[in-house]
Amino acid sequence: MKQTSRDLRDGDQAPDFELPSSSGTPLRLSSLRGKQVVLYFYPKDDTPGCTLEACSFRDSMPKFDGLDAVVLGVSKDSIESHSKFIDKYSLNFVLLSDEGLEAHGLYGTWKAKMNYGKKYMGTERSTFIIGADGKIKKIFRKVSPQGHEAEVLAALRA
């Protein structure tokens, strides 16, 4: 991890990064200025919660398109893993591979977690809505995948 985040807040400039993407070419966040961006961090491809969240975004994509919003999923999975996940569930948006945890660090989503009394590091499921001006409009932390896309759509419309 190159850089660690300070606590990001609504109205802050979204930290820029460039990561390998499932589209085949690296994607720099700042290249999307002029569009709203839904940047969502999730723990792992093809797991129950992450699949539910991804498929909800997939099924609502016409609504996101109608709001001129780009959806980007970020996990530490490889591009190969992302490709299998996209193919298996016909995902219709780009996934970014953050194996070095660069974006996780910038957005403060790599956290100590607890499962069955065991402490470990992992991705905190989080979503950042970034306005066309490159500023963070809304932050969702510790997201529950069920119905999250509806919360995100409501925030984009606000």
Over range 3-25, report the average pLDDT: 88
Active site residue 55: no
Q: Give the residue, 34 or 115, on which the prediction is more confident.
A: 34
Catalytic, out of 14, 37, 38, 50: 50
Q: What is the pLDDT of residues 71-100, one digit of tens each?
A: 999 999 999 999 999 999 999 999 999 999
Residue 15 in tokens? 């930290």
Strand runs labelled E in the chain = 18-19, 27-28, 36-41, 69-75, 94-97, 110-115, 118-123, 126-130, 136-140
Q: Report residue 130 CA to chain centroid gap.
A: 11
Domains annotated for the chain, with CATH where assigned, are 18-157 (3.40.30.10)
Q: What is the pLDDT of residues 30-40, one digit of tens each?
A: 999 999 999 99
Pairing, β 69-75 against β 94-97: parallel
Residue 142 in tokens? 């510790």
Mean pLDDT of the chain: 94
